[in-house]
Amino acid sequence: MSTKEKIQEDVAVAEKESNQNEIVLYNDEVNTFDHVINSLIYACEHTPEQAEQCSIIVHYKGKCTVKTGDIEELEPRCSMLLEAGLSAEIV
């Protein structure tokens, strides 16, 4: 594989990754840690440990990216979080 082919391959991979959207979860003063954790496990298919870590980040930093992917995959997941009373958006 030549250097030129390798560079073109790296650019193609970077472009594909940059098309990913994110669900960002925001902190609120209403929902409990347990509710947020259970919602992330349900809507985003997080492990309990992953959901707990995200909820702690949201609590202390104010927001956290909880899922990345194509918009078609993220829209129903974000809707589930919103229906659960959480504050989230796709960016």
Q: State the number of CA atoms in the 13 A half-sphere of 60 facing the CB.
A: 5
Paired tokens of 59: 């609590």
pLDDT at 33: 97
> Could you give the CA distance from residue 79 to residue 25 in angstroms, rounded to a whole number?
12
Asked whether residue 17 carries a pLDDT value surpassing 70, the answer given is no
Paired tokens of 84: 């659960």
- The model's confidence at residue 19, banded by pLDDT at 50, 70 and 90, is confident
pLDDT at 60: 98
> Could you give the CA distance from residue 7 to residue 89 in angstroms, rounded to a whole number?
34
Its pTM surpasses 0.95: no
Q: What is the mean pLDDT of the chain?
A: 91
Angle between helices 33-44 and 71-83 (to 10 degrees): 150
| Lowest mean pLDDT segment, chosen from 4-8, 56-60, 69-73, 86-90 | 4-8
Angle between helices 48-61 and 33-44 (to 10 degrees): 130
